[in-house]
Amino acid sequence: MKRGIGSHQIGDPFEGFVLIKEASRGVTSTGKPFLTLILRDATGEIEAKLWDVTKEDEEVFVAEQIIRITGEINQFRGKPQMKITSIRPSQPTDGVHVSDFIEKAPVEREVLMEKLTEAIFEMKNPILQRIVRAFIKKYQEPLLTYPAASKNHHEYVSGLAHHIVSMIALAKEIHKLYPQVNKDLLYAGIILHDLGKLKELSGVVSTSYTMEGKLLGHIPMMVEEIGHMAKELQIEGEEVLILQHLVLSHHGIKEWGSPTPPLVREAELLHFIDLIDAKMNMLNRALDKVKPGEFTERLFAMDNRSFYKPSFEEEN
């Protein structure tokens, strides 16, 4: 499995292990059942058709099953489609695991945790530090596993922690340039701003929204949870309210989900740092896939723009 699905080209043969992400049954015009499979590995995903399936096939080739296939990559209605020529479920002796087929952050979780700990250690305001520390303790495991979003940016294992750690690096430098900025407050806002996603999203493998996530959303949930945490820790002080404000306002405007816009300097900055890191993550990954002189695919979360990689950039 040297070259992954994400680097396929029309006409390429394919041989290797992949994970079934979704499987659904159809019937052809001549009445024969077939399966439509969405296959994925750590580099991307592709649709495949499995024709003339038996009852057993339908029971074996289901979501979250790892399979070994050989086939060829064709095009159907302008999109790539895998034509399967042979298929079998993986066996214990194959030595493959679900986690092998899911994209991960480019930084190890131990490193991410270390950087988070460092940032908290730098904080001097005891109220902010205590709250942040308590949250990290409470959510350490999911925080190091969850993606930052169900799609678009940092949508991979440890994506949320990766996003937070990148934002902290940005904040650190920006604080040096504008020393009036309260670094502790900004750090606390960055670390907590998206923790509500741990309840809003279902997990890492096939990320969807929870019922709670749909009815409340990660922003109000996290505002509430900061309140609970402060009560639990018997912490009082304007810091709690200001921290809630940072979380509440970090989407910037009402239309994007913040009922109150940023009204504190660090809230304004948090909004911009979040935007920049999310956009750079999307942009860099899309530009990595094209050569100098080419345009990327359209990026839905960036107003559907297609970006150009100047021909004077070096190949990567």
Residues between 260 and 279 with contacts to its own copies, criterion CB under 8 A: 260-265, 268-269, 272, 275-276, 279
Instruction: Please give the backbone phi and psi of residue 228, each rounded to the nearest 5 degrees, phi first.
Output: -60, -45
Residue of 123, 170, 186, 198 interacting with its own copies (CB under 8 A): 170
Residues 224-253 that bind its own copies (CB under 8 A): 224, 227-228, 231, 237-239, 241-242, 244-245, 248
Instruction: Specify the DSSP element, H or E, that contains 139.
Output: helix 126-143
Site string for its own copies, 57-86 (x = CB under 8 A): -----------------xxxxx--x-x---
Return the HEC string of 222-258: HHHHHHHHHHHCCCCCHHHHHHHHHHHHCCCCHHHCC
Q: List the one residue from 223, 229, 270, 278 that touches its own copies (CB under 8 A).
A: 223
Q: Which stretch of DSSP H or E encloses residue 37?
A: strand 33-41
Of 93 and 311, CB closest to its own copies = 311
Residue 73 has phi, psi (to 5 degrees) of: -95, 115
Residues 92-121 that bind its own copies (CB under 8 A): none
Of residues 98 and 241, the one with the C-beta less far from its own copies: 241
Q: How far is the CB of 1 from its own copies (least distance, A)?
A: 24
Say whether residue 25 binds its own copies (CB under 8 A). Answer: yes
Burial of 273 (0-12, 13-18, 19+ CB in 10 A): buried
Return the number of the residue (95 or 310) whose C-beta is nearest its own copies.
Answer: 310
Distance CA 259, CA 172 (A): 28
